[in-house]
């Protein structure tokens, strides 16, 4: 046992054996001058680290270190410590700043002549080399404390050092990445500045270096803590069972965005599912009662911005529950797991209908951190003489709507003047009473900006909804405070339409969410007469204007499910035989939800991209720039799967050209 402890040391030392020997010799030579320091022998420290007797819980248990860099403080003064970490930087040959995941600590390089070999070792180090330093914690000399550094009251006097690994010249400095902070990652940068794209590509290529930044470390650790708390809440407070479901599954109806996995049987393929939807429902039929899973999901969406081909959702399903039960569960879940440093989550969350959200915000995922709601002013313009407005109002669902942008004059010149007149091309066309009514209805003040749109309601609302968000961004760009970045606004949106006209064939209907959503009970008769009017028992969870979750009460009646698939959606039910059969075998009423974990965490940490909360994300184009995946595979390796590549040149010129090499 004792023998084993020293093995690793020898192995590490391959490259730096010479150095270590020198250092040890130096230490032995000086031991008599400072016996009170009691440098422990190497085997002693190893035996400590691998001992079977209980040692305090924590991140240094069972390790070759005794403490982490970041935990040292005045409480440790006088203690002998063993630290392992990376050289953050060297300062004037006097100090080494050593870093590990927990933070930084200053290591004092001894300058007495007897320790010159130890000093030489330190001075020859490249940044990001890996060290094991033994030494004693002491208070920094008065006046040399660093109040900006959590360990700034102390320093560690090095007594021995072992170079565990060296580091070549890096493609970029770790601390640069820390300093650059969040601004690097904004979408604007990504699309407008080739330089930034290159740096993003470099971050991805050397992801293992990028992850050393304090921001990325913090993001991944926050994510880990969050999911642990979520699990606690679901398992211990509500009796949920964590069940894993397969990812090698079969194609689902309409699953055009599912990755295929060839099997060894000619022509047969597995699919990587977009969600465990069918399995979670089957688990309810199986009587599991309450299921959850942190589920890996797959979606082949090409190069949609800020999407990943694989992502993670907090997947939940319950039996014998109603909509209110699921919503209360999720509110409790977020309240319980929310990171303390991010404030307290107040429940219940406000709830609006889809219709109300569209009416007030022109979008089904409103950002409720600010006002600027849509105001219907059709009444005012009912008898207008402005031609295009009159035409717009006359059409089916025709309307005139407005948003008022407070302080909008900051960014535009179409403003309400002090005297109540409007600085606008419309201004002189409006009768005084119309103008007066408009100002009253929109509650416009001097300095505000009014934006009007006229046309069919289905077009006017989304238009103003987008304008509203753009105005907020514009104002913030000009220094007007519109949204508090430290604030989290949750909102439920309910009563969505169950079906929507197909984009490419408006005469047909498709599911607004998925074909398993139950209709709102009082709308059930409409299924058989006017299915486009049926509302679904679907609920979306919106946070700061982003959809972070969606779920529904499911259909548990086999006949109803079959009718919707066959008669309303015109789907081939053969693909879903197993689910329809399952509903005939005593399926309980059930419902659930899925939360998009990546997006949720990115909002919590204040990052605009989900790539900042995923350890190894793919690029926009679905590439792993570090390992160069996907990659070519020789034809020989395709044979067992009975497939071959159809090269564009073979097929003809109608195919798109090969993509450029750089992401």
| Contact range with a copy of itself by CB under 8 A, out of 216-224, 353-361, 443-451, 499-507 | 216-224
CB burial readout 90-113, b (16+ within 10 A) else e: beeeebbbbbbbbbbbbbbbbeee
The interface with a copy of itself within residues 172-211 (CB under 8 A) comprises: 206-211
Q: Which is nearer to a copy of itself, 457 or 514 (CB)?
A: 514
DSSP 374-414: EEE-TGGGTT---HHHHHHHHSTTEEEEEEEETTGGGT-S-
Q: Which range, of 5-13, 106-114, 362-370, 444-452, touches a copy of itself by CB under 8 A?
A: 5-13
Nearest Cα to Cα of residue 314 among 592, 611, 605: 592
Which of these segments, 355-363, 366-374, 509-517, 646-654, binds a copy of itself (CB under 8 A)?
646-654
Give me 107's structure tokens: 């290591």
- Report d(CA 616, CA 418) in Å as an integer: 55
Residues facing 134 on adjacent strands: 82, 160
Neighbours of 561 (CB within 10 A): 23
Q: How far is the CB of 339 from a copy of itself (least distance, A)?
A: 14
Q: Which of residues 69-98 bind a copy of itself (CB under 8 A)?
A: 84, 86
Write down the least CB distance from residue 638 to a copy of itself, Å.
7
| CB of residue 65 to a copy of itself, shortest distance in Å | 5
Positions 539 through 558 that interact with a copy of itself (CB under 8 A): 553, 556-557
Dihedral sign, Cα of residue 168, residue 172, residue 176, residue 181:
negative
Contact with a copy of itself (CB under 8 A): which of 40, 59, 110, 339?
59
Could you tell me which of 192, 205, 223 has the C-alpha nearest to residue 612?
Answer: 223
Shortest distance (Å) from residue 484 CB to a copy of itself? 26
Question: Which is nearer to a copy of itself, 62 or 486 (by Cβ)?
Answer: 62
Does 259 sit near a copy of itself (CB under 8 A)? yes
User: Counting contacts by CB under 8 A, is residue 504 touching a copy of itself?
Assistant: no
Q: Which of 22, 37, 40, 101 binds a copy of itself (CB under 8 A)?
A: 101
User: According to CB under 8 A, which residues from 27 to 56 bind a copy of itself?
Assistant: 46, 49-52
Cβ contacts of 189 within 8 Å, gap of 6 or more: 183, 196
Query: Smallest gap, in angstroms, from Cβ of residue 492 to a copy of itself?
Result: 12
431-437: long-range pairs with CB below 8 Å, 24+: 434/380, 434/381, 434/384, 437/377, 437/380
570-609 positions binding a copy of itself, by CB under 8 A? 578, 581-589
- One symbol per residue from 335 to 374: x for binding a copy of itself (CB under 8 A), - otherwise; what is it? ------------xx--------------------------
Measured from the CB atom, the residue of 296 and 369 that comes closer to a copy of itself is 296
Under rule CB under 8 A, residue 400 binds a copy of itself: no
How do strand 310-319 and strand 590-596 relate by DSSP bridges?
antiparallel
Cβ 402 to a copy of itself shortest distance, Å: 33
Give the number of residues written for the chain. 663
Which residue in 80, 128, 153, 315 binds a copy of itself (CB under 8 A)?
A: 128
Q: How many positions of this chain bind a copy of itself (CB under 8 A)?
A: 166
Q: Is 267 in the site for a copy of itself (CB under 8 A)?
A: yes
**Minimum Å distance from CB 49 to a copy of itself?**
6
The pair of three-digit structure tokens given for residue 114, joined into one six-digit string = 């007897």
Which residues in 359-384 are b (16+ Cβ under 10 Å) and which e? bbbbbbbbbbebebbbbebbebbeeb
**Does position 642 bind a copy of itself by CB under 8 A?**
yes
Cα 40 to Cα 27, 36, 68, 77: the distances in Å are 11, 11, 18, 18
By the rule CB under 8 A, 646 interacts with a copy of itself: yes
Residues 375-394 that bind a copy of itself (CB under 8 A): none
18, 32, 35, 62: which one contacts a copy of itself (CB under 8 A)? 62
- Choose which of 160, 319, 337, 384 interacts with a copy of itself (CB under 8 A): 319
Distance CA 38, CA 41 (A): 9
Residue that the structure tokens 């509903």 belong to: 583
Q: Does 120 participate in binding a copy of itself (rule CB under 8 A)?
A: no
Distance set, CA 39 to CA 25, 31, 32, 44 (Å): 13, 8, 11, 10
Q: Which stretch binds a copy of itself (CB under 8 A): 20-28, 175-183, 184-192, 645-653?
A: 645-653
Those residues with Cβ within 8 angstroms of residue 458's Cβ, 6 or more apart along the chain or in another chain: 397
Instruction: Compute CA 170 distance to the chain's CA centroid, rounded to the nearest angstrom.
Output: 28
Residue 356: CB minimum distance to a copy of itself, A: 15
Count of CA atoms in the C-beta half-sphere (13 A) of 71: 14
Q: How far is the CB of 515 from a copy of itself (least distance, A)?
A: 16
By CB under 8 A, tell whether 262 contacts a copy of itself: yes
DSSP 490-534: EEEEE--BSEEE-SS-TTSEEESS-TTBPBPGGGGGGGGT-GGGP
| Distance in Å, CB of 658 to a copy of itself, minimum | 7
| Cβ 549 to a copy of itself shortest distance, Å | 16
Between the alpha carbon of residue 218 and those of residues 255, 363, 485, the distances in Å are: 36, 33, 18
Any residues with CB less than 8 A from the CB of 268 and at least 6 apart, and which? 262
Q: Is 134 in the site for a copy of itself (CB under 8 A)?
A: no
Nearer to a copy of itself, 182 or 645 (CB): 645
510 strand-pairing partners: 500
- Residue number with CB closer to a copy of itself (5 or 81): 5
Listed residue (357, 423, 439, 425) closest to 389, CA to CA? 425
Give the binding range for a copy of itself (CB under 8 A) out of 134-142, 214-222, 383-391, 396-404.
214-222
Looking at beta carbons only, is 58 or 501 nearer to a copy of itself?
58
Task: Please give the residues from 218 up to 237 whose contact with a copy of itself meets the rule CB under 8 A.
Answer: 220-221, 223-225, 227-228, 231, 235-237
């Amino acid at each position: 046992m004792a023998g084993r402890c020293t093995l690793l040391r020898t192995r590490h030392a391959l490259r730096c054996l010479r150095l270590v020997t020198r250092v040890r010799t130096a230490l032995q030579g000086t031991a008599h001058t400072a016996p009170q320091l009691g440098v422990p022998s190497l085997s002693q420290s190893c035996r400590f680290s691998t001992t079977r007797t209980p040692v305090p819980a924590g991140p240094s248990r069972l390790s070759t270190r005794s403490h982490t860099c970041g935990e040292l403080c005045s409480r440790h003064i006088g203690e002998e410590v063993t630290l392992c970490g990376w050289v953050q930087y060297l300062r004037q040959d006097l100090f080494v700043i050593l870093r590990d995941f927990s933070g930084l600590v200053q290591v004092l390089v001894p300058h007495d002549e007897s320790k010159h070999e130890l000093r030489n070792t330190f001075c020859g180090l490249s940044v990001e080399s890996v060290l094991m330093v033994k030494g004693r914690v002491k208070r920094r000399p008065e006046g040399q404390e660093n109040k900006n550094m959590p360990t700034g009251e102390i320093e560690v006097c090095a007594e021995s050092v072992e170079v565990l690994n060296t580091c070549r010249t890096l493609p970029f400095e770790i601390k640069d990445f820390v300093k650059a902070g969040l601004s690097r990652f904004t979408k604007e940068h990504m699309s407008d500045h080739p330089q930034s794209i290159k740096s993003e590509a470099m971050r991805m290529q050397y992801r293992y270096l990028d992850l050393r930044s304090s921001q990325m470390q913090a993001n991944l650790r926050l994510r880990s803590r969050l999911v642990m708390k979520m699990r606690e809440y679901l398992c211990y407070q509500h009796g949920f069972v964590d069940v894993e479901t397969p990812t090698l599954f079969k194609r689902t109806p309409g699953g055009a965005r599912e990755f295929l996995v060839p099997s060894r049987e000619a022509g047969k393929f597995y699919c990587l599912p977009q969600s465990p939807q069918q399995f979670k429902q089957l688990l309810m039929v199986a009587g599991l009662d309450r299921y959850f899973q942190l589920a890996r999901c797959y979606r082949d969406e090409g190069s949609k911005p800020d999407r990943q081909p694989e992502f993670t959702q907090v997947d939940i399903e319950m039996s014998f529950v109603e909509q209110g039960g699921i919503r209360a569960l999720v509110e409790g879940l977020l309240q319980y797991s929310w990171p303390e440093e991010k404030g307290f989550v107040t429940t219940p969350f406000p709830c609006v209908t889809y219709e109300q959200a569209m009416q007030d915000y022109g979008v089904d995922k409103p950002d409720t951190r600010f006002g600027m709601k849509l105001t219907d002013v059709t009444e005012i313009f009912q008898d207008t003489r402005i031609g295009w407005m009159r035409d717009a109002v006359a059409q089916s669902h025709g309307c005139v709507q407005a948003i008022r942008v407070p302080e909008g004059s900051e960014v535009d010149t179409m403003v309400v003047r002090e005297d109540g007149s409007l600085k606008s091309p419309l201004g002189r066309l409006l009768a005084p009473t119309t103008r007066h009514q408009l100002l009253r209805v929109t509650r416009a003040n001097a300095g505000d900006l009014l934006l009007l749109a006229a046309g069919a309601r289905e077009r006017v609302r989304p238009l103003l909804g987008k304008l509203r968000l753009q105005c907020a961004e514009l104002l913030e760009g000009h220094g007007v405070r519109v949204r508090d970045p430290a604030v989290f606004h949750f909102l439920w949106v309910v009563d969505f339409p169950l079906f929507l006209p197909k984009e490419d064939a408006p005469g047909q209907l498709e599911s607004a969410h998925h074909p398993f959503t139950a209709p709102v009970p009082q709308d059930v008769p409409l299924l058989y007469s006017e299915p486009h009017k049926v509302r679904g028992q679907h609920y979306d969870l919106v946070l700061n204007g982003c959809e972070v979750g969606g779920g529904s009460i499911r259909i548990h009646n086999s006949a109803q499910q079959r009718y919707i698939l066959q008669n309303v959606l015109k789907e081939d039910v053969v693909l879903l035989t197993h689910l329809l059969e399952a509903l005939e075998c005593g399926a309980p009423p059930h419902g659930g939800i899925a939360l998009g974990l990546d997006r949720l965490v990115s909002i919590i940490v204040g990052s605009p991209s989900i790539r900042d909360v995923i350890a190894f994300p793919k690029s926009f184009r679905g590439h792993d720039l570090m390992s160069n995946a996907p990659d070519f595979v020789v034809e020989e390796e395709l044979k067992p799967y009975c497939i071959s590549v159809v090269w564009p040149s073979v097929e003809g010129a109608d195919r798109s050209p090969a993509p450029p090499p750089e992401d």
